[in-house]
Amino acid sequence: MPSPAFAEVWVLDFEYRAPSGCNPEVVCLVAHDLVGDRQLRLWADELVPGKPPFRVDSGALFVAYFASAEISAFLALGWPLPRHVLDLYVELRRLKNGIGHAGSLIDAARSFGFSLTTAEEKDSFRKRILAGPPFTDEEKAAILRYCESDVILTRKLLRRLLPKIIDEPKGFGQALLRGRYIRPSRAWSELGSRSTSDSTRRFVRIGDRSSYASSPRSMSATGCFWARPSSSIVFRRYSIVSALLGPAPLRGGFRLTKTPSRL
């Protein structure tokens, strides 16, 4: 486990409902801290807007399967986004590299020979959650158990995938960079429709090919950079919504030496 580098390592899962055209309505949260051996099982009325029940700075790592869903819940609660995210869906899909499909958490768990919840049970809970309140005490307890079963599956999946990630040169650091991209990309998805035309230009403006010759500072101002491998693929900067989430942490561009893995 990556505990030596982090004071807290949270494996977490939210349940929420998202009516058409609306932001998510968080139903509950279950989270396990692998370092401090703490567990949180919180219903919606126990989640304080703007005040997460754990640290989200560089001393904490958050592990999830399909982490963009968890980022949506953070945004809905007005919580600051976690600094470090490890998305096991992304990592499993990358490791498969086009051979097979990462699929749902249950699919991923079954591919490693373990599972706690059947697809039918999961579908039943999803339908009840989407139906919305009021929830009886029995339903709340059952939904929390269901949410926790996903956390347990994610913990098991982490044990299988982490050795494969850290076995690669700079593998864990690159996994954190991939996780870091999820924060602004999800924020754009959730908040972009309400952004002004000026802020939209700041998010996605990409210069023409003359930007290759631009200085790192001028390239940074566009909110993106160019990479120039043989196939002339253009990569958008992973912090494209720096106007929302703070100054961009990287400056300038980079050069690819290999064709990227198919994700």
pLDDT tens by residue, 234-245: 334 433 333 344
Taking Cα atoms as reference points, which of 203, 255, 252, 195 lies closest to residue 228? 255
Residue 261 has pLDDT above 80, yes or no: no
Q: How confident is the model at residue 187 (pLDDT cuts 50, 70, 90)?
A: low
Tell me the three state secondary structure of residue 256.
Answer: coil
Asked whether residue 210 carries a pLDDT value surpassing 80, the answer given is: no
pLDDT at 117: 75
**pLDDT of res. 111:** 86
For the chain, domains (ranges, CATH) are 3-184 (3.30.420.10), 196-245 (no CATH)
Q: Is pLDDT larger for residue 182 or for residue 205? A: 182
Give the range among 43-57, 69-83, 247-261 with minimum mean pLDDT: 247-261
150 pLDDT above the threshold of 70? yes
Highest-confidence range of 98-102, 172-176, 218-222, 250-254, by mean pLDDT? Answer: 172-176
| Whether 79 contacts 50, CB under 8 Å | yes
**Could you tell me which residues come within 8 angstroms of residue 251 by beta carbon, excluding any fewer than 6 positions away?**
216, 217, 220
Q: Could you tell me which residue, 214 or 23, shows the higher pLDDT?
A: 23
Tell me the average pLDDT across 170-199.
72
**Is the pLDDT confidence value at 78 over 50?**
yes
Cβ neighbours for 70, distance < 8 A, ≥ 6 positions apart: 12, 13, 14, 62, 64
- Lowest-confidence segment of 8-12, 155-159, 193-197 by average pLDDT: 193-197
Indicate the pLDDT class of residue 124, thresholds 50, 70 and 90. very high
pLDDT at 101: 65
Average pLDDT of the chain to the nearest whole number = 76
Could you give the C-alpha distances from 188 to 68, 100, 198, 203, in angstroms and in order?
11, 29, 14, 9
CA distance 60 to 50: 17
The predicted structure's pLDDT at residue 191: 55
